[in-house]
Amino acid sequence: MFAVKCSQATLERTAIITVLLALAIGFVIGRYKARATQYAIQNRGEARLSREVKRRFPPPDYHLLNHITLRLKDGTTQVDHILVSRFGLFVIETKDYKGWIFADAKDRYWTQVLYRSKFRFQNPVRQNYRHVCAVRELLEFLDPDVVHPVVVFAGEAVFRTDVPEGVFTLPKFLAYVENHRTEVMSVNRAQFCVGRLEATRLAITHETDVEHVLELRRQHGIND
């Protein structure tokens, strides 16, 4: 009986070590793979945000992930950036717009006015909600309040209405992150979060992006 218990304990320890090793590999390899391809995929606003965040908030207290595609039960969701830190985790939707922005947090669409033209675009706060839910589900061991939804307008857009809660210009977003100084997780726990995200995310490829676009078309009932 004692031998059986020892054997079971050994198997459990081996399983735990295997999981931790896989997450560690995901943390290291995923970071290098993402870094090698992210700049070819990012638009100007996303690249600017990445550059400023990395300059202002370096490791080991902060880890920035870009262009993260996660598979869900009903398809995929694609997050522009996730900033993991000891002081919270920020799920970021980035917009690179010019002109005037008319916005209401409750509306399905917002409006951009550029010269004499008007364009509607999906409410990014609602758009980011799906991203936040996916991250909270994947990192279920974190308190939900630790995961902060953020929308950043990194271009030269000017709001002509009240700015909805959780929406920032790039400078104000950097200040928002800076103001979070209460430690909510250790460096090891933050690295564990990064490892799980890297191990779970889909590869940064053209095929992944095409699959995600087709999924968005299906969700919104858009047919060729």
Mean pLDDT, rounded, for 14-21: 52
60 preceded by a cis bond (ω within 30 of 0): yes
Each residue's pLDDT tens digit, 148-204: 999 999 999 999 999 999 999 999 999 999 999 999 999 999 999 999 999 999 987
How far is it between the farthest Cα atoms of the chain? 81
Model pLDDT for residues 73-95, shown as the tens digit of each residue = 888 999 999 999 999 999 999 99
- Does position 102 have pLDDT exceeding 50, yes or no? yes
DSSP string, 108-159: SEEEEEETTEEEEEE-HHHHHHHHHHHHHHHTTTS-GGGEEEEEEE-SS-EE
Strands 147-153 and 167-169: parallel
Reported confidence tier of residue 19, pLDDT bands at 50, 70, 90: very low
Per-position b or e across 27-55, b if 16+ CB within 10 A of its CB: beebbeebeeebeebbeebbbbbbeebee
Check residue 204 and give its pLDDT. 75
> What single DSSP character describes residue 6?
H
Name the DSSP class of 57: S
In angstroms, the CA 107 to CA 127 distance is: 12
Q: Are 42 and 64 in contact (CB under 8 A)?
A: no
The whole-model pTM stands at 0.77
The whole-angstrom separation of Cα 92 and Cα 72 is: 18
43 confidence band (pLDDT: 50, 70, 90): confident
